[in-house]
Amino acid sequence: MNVLQVSAEIFPLLKTGGLADVAGALPQALNAAGCAVRVLLPGFAPILADLQDEQAPAHLVAPWGESVALRQGRLNSLNLQAYVIDVPHLYGREGTPYEDEQRQPFTDNDRRFALLGWVAARLAAGLDAHWQPQVVHSHDWHAALTGAYMAFLPPQRDRVASVYTVHNLAYQGLFAPRHFFELGLPAAAFSVDGLEFHGQLSFMKAGLFYADHITTVSPTYAREIQTSEQGCGLDGLLRTRAHDLTGILNGVDETVWDPARDMVIPERFDAVKPAGKVVCKAALQQQLGLTVQTQAPLFGVVSRLTEQKGLHLLLGVIDDLLARGGQLVVLGTGEAALEAAFLQCARAHPEAISVRIGYDEPYAHQIFAASDVTLVPSRFEPCGLTQMYGLKYGSLPLVHRVGGLADTVVDCALENLADGSANGFVFNRFDVPDMARAVARSFALYADSRQWRKVSTRAMRQRLGWDRAAQDYLALYRRLCH
């Protein structure tokens, strides 16, 4: 089955979050399951630099009159066939894929990412005479116009199905309504039954309304986004499309996240031979100037530093965590106030807290390998890959019971320890006292070294790869095409 995947970023070439991990791993898993997957990406510099075996580009004209070169070749780092939209004026910029160096969204993001959906629809309509997708699978708001453009294509001999995956409903791609008229969509598309959302233009709503099927990245999140609490104003639409909405839990790319094969950590280890984790912990403590000790747990945070991630709750329990003898390592970037607060804590307690602002993929691996507990106290979490990376590396997740965190982490309550299902620590209420109780449970379990090793070993043995998700997606694609 021919599948075109459409996304704004892809690991290992360009990553700002979990979307890139999914976009890089899912095509490989689908190919292994029997699909023929190609990807469509914007022409950001790292992506263009990786493109090899190029064929002559197709030349198109965007709806607003801009010249577009569509390159086709193979992404060397992934050994994956790709189409890359090469418009230097749109994608050759300093900053992140979405923001300038002052962290302000680019003012023409509507054009930059509408182009993804427009080109995807052209490919669905037969732009490439040598390869025709049967399914076009677009990801998040950046690619959400794909379904809208496909819906207004002239009738095709062979129907092409559209699938849209929501990675985070809170980031919707909202623009002023004046931008609608340059997108090349018919006027009827700017309505309540279309892209209009409280007077604005919503890319996300386009994906939810026009795609043949909607998926999101965990079963619990698929239920949560149909409620007013987590529906971000789109819950009514999602409820009307409930029969076309499926939650498929993300997986972990086990070729990247595997402590037995990880070349960037000081010592490899696994569930059978876990001793290397002790070496990794001591090495990181020494590297960061923390007190080298094994008696108390090391807590790790690898996250965007935002309110959504619940990290203000962590600030509320830091004093208790330190009083119990714990240590904390933080890697992330985000809201200035949170960055400053964590940096202040590190300055006040350099022997116990280390904070690095930014993102560093090898360092993230080292944190998971060294830490005993991975903290993910998110207010909401569509899936969360961080807690699954923690499980793979024997760093027990401490999470708020929400979204994919609820689907992957089982609290170390006595009954769960007894039946062998426990693999972390879960708090139910999104407040400091409930998180503090979960932290206290982690210290209590850590004090029982035999029980801790048992739970950590079980966590590392869990099957978290993409195989099951790929089979679920393949079953969905087949259903839509028949």
Domains and CATH numbers, the chain: 2-251+466-481 (3.40.50.2000), 276-461 (3.40.50.2000)
pLDDT mean over 249-276: 96
**In the prediction, which pLDDT does 158 show?**
84
169-196 pLDDT, tens digit per residue, is 999 999 999 999 999 999 999 999 999 9
Predicted confidence (pLDDT) at residue 212 exceeds the cutoff of 80:
yes
**In the prediction, which pLDDT does 154 show?**
85
pLDDT mean over 395-414: 98
Whole-angstrom Cα distance, residue 145 to residue 128? 20
Predicted confidence (pLDDT) at residue 97 exceeds the cutoff of 90:
yes
* Mean per-residue pLDDT of the chain: 96
Q: Which residues contact 66 (CB under 8 A, 6 or more apart)?
A: 87, 89, 90, 111
Question: How sure is the predictor about 330, in pLDDT bands with cuts at 50, 70 and 90?
Answer: very high
Q: Which amino acid is at 445?
A: L
- Percent of the chain scoring above 70 in pLDDT: 100
Question: How sure is the predictor about 290, in pLDDT bands with cuts at 50, 70 and 90?
Answer: very high
Angle of the 467-481 helix axis to the 18-32 helix axis, nearest 10? 70
78-93 pLDDT, tens digit per residue, is 999 999 999 999 999 9
Neighbours of 67 (CB within 10 A): 10
Asked whether 324 and 443 are in contact (CB, 8 A), the reply is yes
Predicted confidence (pLDDT) at residue 68 exceeds the cutoff of 90:
yes
> How many helices (H) and strands (E) in the chain?
18, 18
Predicted confidence (pLDDT) at residue 156 exceeds the cutoff of 80:
no
**In the prediction, which pLDDT does 155 show?**
80
**In the prediction, which pLDDT does 103 show?**
86
**In the prediction, which pLDDT does 447 show?**
97
The token pair at 324 is 């119990």
Predicted confidence (pLDDT) at residue 309 exceeds the cutoff of 90:
yes
Neighbours of 13 (CB within 10 A): 23
Closest CA to 243 of 479, 408, 482, 19: 479
Length of the chain counted residue by residue: 482
**In the prediction, which pLDDT does 106 show?**
96
pLDDT mean over 339-343: 98
Question: How sure is the predictor about 17, in pLDDT bands with cuts at 50, 70 and 90?
Answer: confident
pLDDT mean over 350-375: 97
- 385 phi and psi, to 5 degrees? -100, -25
**In the prediction, which pLDDT does 425 show?**
98
Peptide bond before residue 12 is cis, with ω within 30 degrees of 0: yes
